[in-house]
Amino acid sequence: MRVLLPVIIGLLYATGIYLILRRSMVKVIFGLVVLGHAANLMIFTVGRLTKGSPAFVPHGATGIAEPFADPLPQALILTAIVIGFGIQAFTIALFKKTCLSLKTEDLDEMRNTDQLEKESP
Amino acid sequence: MNRLIILPVLVPLTTALIMLLLPRRIAVHRLLGVLSTLLLSVVSVILLNSVLSGGILSLQAGGWAAPFGITMVVDTFSCIMLAMASLIGLTTAIYSIGSVDEKQEHNFYHPLIQLLLMGINGAFLTGDIFNLYVWFEVMLISSFVLLVLEGKPEQFEGAIKYVTLNLLSSAIFLAAVGILYGMAGTLNMADLAMRLPMLEHRELLSVAAILFLITFGIKAAVFPLFFWLPASYHTPHVAVSAIFAGLLTKVGVYAIIRFFTTIFTLESTPFIHHILLWVSAFTMVTGVLGAVAQYDLRKLLSFHIISQIGYMIFAIAIQSPLAIAGGLLFIVHNIAAKTNLFYLSGIIRLISGSWNLRQIGGLYATYPLLGLLFLVPALALAGIPPLSGFWAKLTVIQAGLEAQQWLAVSVALMVSILTLYSMIKIWNEAFLKDNPLSGDEGQRGREYHELSAGKKIALIGPAIILAMFTIVSGLWFEPFFILAEGASLELLDAGIYSKAVTGGIP
C-alpha cells in the first residue's frame, strides 16, 4: 500500500489536470471530481498509514498501544467528500444551464458571451 | 464574554434560516437583513472593545481543549476584519433594497447574502486550518449562487471560470492541509505556530507553504492567478459585485497574512517573502494596466481590485511591524472605497442606462452631488490626501523605504499615478464629457426617475455612509493607525496568539 497509494495519487492528479485542460465542459467537471479524490487520498496517505490497529481502547485497558491508526485524517476526508459532493452537484447544474443557455459546451467558444451591451449603440 | 465569539457566525445563520422559513415575505427579508447586519456591527464593536482591553479571546467549540477541538479566536486583526465585514454587510443590505428586483429577492437573494457573510465571518474567526477550509466552502457556494442568480446568458462564462478556478484552489488547499497534518500532527493554528519551529522532518514544509500561497493567491486574485476576477465580477447584479469586491478577495488576503505571519514565520520559510515581493509588484502593475484599457465601468473597477491587492501583498512581503500595520490600514481603506465605487457605478448605470463609459456622459451637469460623492472613494483609491487611501499608502511606502525595497516602492508609486489616471478617466468620461446619446434624451435616467423616493435613499444612503467613513478615517487617522499598529505587533509575535489559545502548553 505504501507504494501503491502514492502511484495512484499521482495518476489521479495527472488525470485530473489533463481533464481540466480540455475544452469540453463535461471533461472539466470530471477533472475537478478526480482532483478532489486525489487530494482526499493524499490526506489519507500523508496522515500516516497504519494497518490493522484501529484507535479503539481495548476492554479493560487504560490506553492504546502505539502505533494506532490516526482517525483525524479520515474525519477530514469525510468532511471534504461531503462538501465536495455538494459543490460538484452545483457545478454540474451550472454547467448544464450554461450549455442550454449558450448552446455550446466548447469552452473555447465562450470568449465573448459575457458582453452586457454591444459596442455601438 | 468568550461566548460572544460565536455570534458573528450565529447571527447571519439564524437570520438566513428565518428568511428561508418565510419564503414569500420579501419585506421581512429586507428588514431582517438590515437588522442582522446592524446586530453584527454591534457585536463586532463589542468584541473589538473587549480584545483591546483584555487581549485575545478564544472559544473551544464543544469544550474540547485547544489542539484537539475546533478553536475560534479573535485577535485585533480578526476584529478589524469583522467590523469591516459587518459595515459592508449593512450597507449592502440597505443598497439591495433599492437595487435588487423582486424576482431575485423571491429567489432567496437575502438569505444568500446572509450565508455569504456567515462564511466570511467564520473564516475571520476560526483558529483551525481545516475549519478555515470549511468556511471558505460556505463562502464559495453562496457566492457561486449569487453570481448566477439572475440566470442571464452573459453571466455564465464568468461563473464557469470563477467556479472552476475556485474548486481547483480548494483541491490544492486540501492537499496542503494533508501535508501539514502529516508533518506536524495538528491543524490548530496556535499549536502549529509553536510546533513548526521545532519540527524534525521539515522537508515538506516549503511544499505546504507554497501550496497554501497558491490557494490563497487564487482567492486573493494576485498575479498570475487573478484571471477569474475580471472575468466574473462585471456580470452579476451590482449589489453582488459590490459585496464581492469589498470582501471576497480580502478574505484571501486575510488568510495570507494569518498564515505567513503567525504560522509560517520569516525564519521557517524565508523564500516565501521574496516570492511575495515579486508577486506584489507584478500584481500592482498588471492590475492597473488592465484597468487602463477598459471601458466597461465594472471591469475597470475589477482590475483595480487586483492592483490594490498588490499593495497589501507588498506590505506582507516586507513584514516589518510598520508594513503590516500599513497593510491592515490599506485593507480597511480599500474595503470601504472599493465597495463604494461599485455602489456608485450601479447608480450611474441606473441613471445612464449603460455600463460602457463611451455611452455615458454629462452626469456632472445633471447630478453634481453624485459626482462629488464619486470623487471621494475615487481620490481615496488614488491616494490623495487627506482621504484614508493616502495614509494607508504612505504607511506602506514608508515601510518599503525602511526595508530598502527601492524597486517595489517605485513600482507602487508609478501604479498610484496610473490609478489616478484611470479614476480621472472615469470622471472625464462619465461626468464631464457631453452625453453621447443626445438624441434620445427621454431615455436617459428613466429607470432612475421611476424609482420611489425610498429606493433612491436606499441607493444613495450606503454610498454616503461609506464616503463618510473614507473621509473620517482620513481626517482622524491616528486612532486607526494605533489600532492597526497594535494588531500588527500582535500578529508578528506568534507567541501571544499561541499562548492565548492553548494556554502556553505545546
B325 CB burial (10 A radius; 0-12, 13-18, 19+):
buried
If you average pLDDT over residues A37-60, what whole number do you get? 82
The alpha carbon of residue A60 is apart from the nearest alpha carbon of chain B, in Å, by 24
Do A113 and B174 lie within an 8 Å CB cutoff? no
Domain count, chain A: 1
Residue B152 has pLDDT above 80, yes or no: yes
pLDDT 10s digits, B338-391: 999 999 999 988 888 788 888 888 888 888 888 889 999 999 988 888 888 899
A10 in B contact zone (CB under 8 Å) = no
Residue A112 is assigned to a structural domain of this protein: yes
Q: The domain that contains A80 carries what CATH number?
A: 1.10.287
Residue A32 is assigned to a structural domain of this protein: yes
With contacts defined as CB-CB under 8 Å, which chain B residues touch A36? Answer: 167, 170-171, 174
Residue A24 has pLDDT above 80, yes or no: yes
Point out the residue among A28, A39, A115 whose CB comes nearest to the CB of B164. A28
Residue A61 is assigned to a structural domain of this protein: no
B227 in A contact zone (CB under 8 Å) = no
Residue A57 is assigned to a structural domain of this protein: no
The alpha carbon of residue A61 is apart from the nearest alpha carbon of chain B, in Å, by 22
**What is the Cα–Cα distance from B431 to B447, expressed in whole angstroms?**
18
pLDDT 10s digits, B463-487: 999 999 999 998 988 899 999 998 8
B310: cell is: 498588490
Residue B229 has pLDDT above 80, yes or no: yes
Determine contact, residues B169/B229, Cβ cutoff 8 Å: no
Residue A58 is assigned to a structural domain of this protein: no
Q: How confident is the model at residue A121 (pLDDT cuts 50, 70, 90)?
A: very low
The alpha carbon of residue B168 is apart from the nearest alpha carbon of chain A, in Å, by 7
If you average pLDDT over residues B272-289, what whole number do you get? 91
Residue B55 is predicted with a pLDDT of: 82
Q: Name the residue range of residue A95's domain.
A: 4-49+71-119
Q: Which of B174, B201, B298, B300 to mutate to test the interface with A (most CBs of A within 10 A)?
A: B174
pTM, entire model: 0.92
Residue A60 is assigned to a structural domain of this protein: no
Closest listed residue to residue B12, CA positions, set B132, B99, B116: B116
B159 in A contact zone (CB under 8 Å) = yes
Do A107 and B235 lie within an 8 Å CB cutoff? no
Q: What's the mean pLDDT when you consider all of chain A? A: 84
Determine contact, residues B225/B155, Cβ cutoff 8 Å: no
Closest listed residue to residue B16, CA positions, set B117, B144, B136: B117
A98 in B contact zone (CB under 8 Å) = yes
Residue A96 is assigned to a structural domain of this protein: yes
Better-predicted residue by pLDDT, B160 or B265: B160
Q: Which of A46, A99, A118 to mutate to test the interface with B (most CBs of B within 10 A)?
A: A46
With contacts defined as CB-CB under 8 Å, which chain A residues touch B148? Answer: 94, 97
CA distances to A5, A9, A16, B133, B506 from A41, rounded to whole Å, are: 8, 7, 13, 17, 29
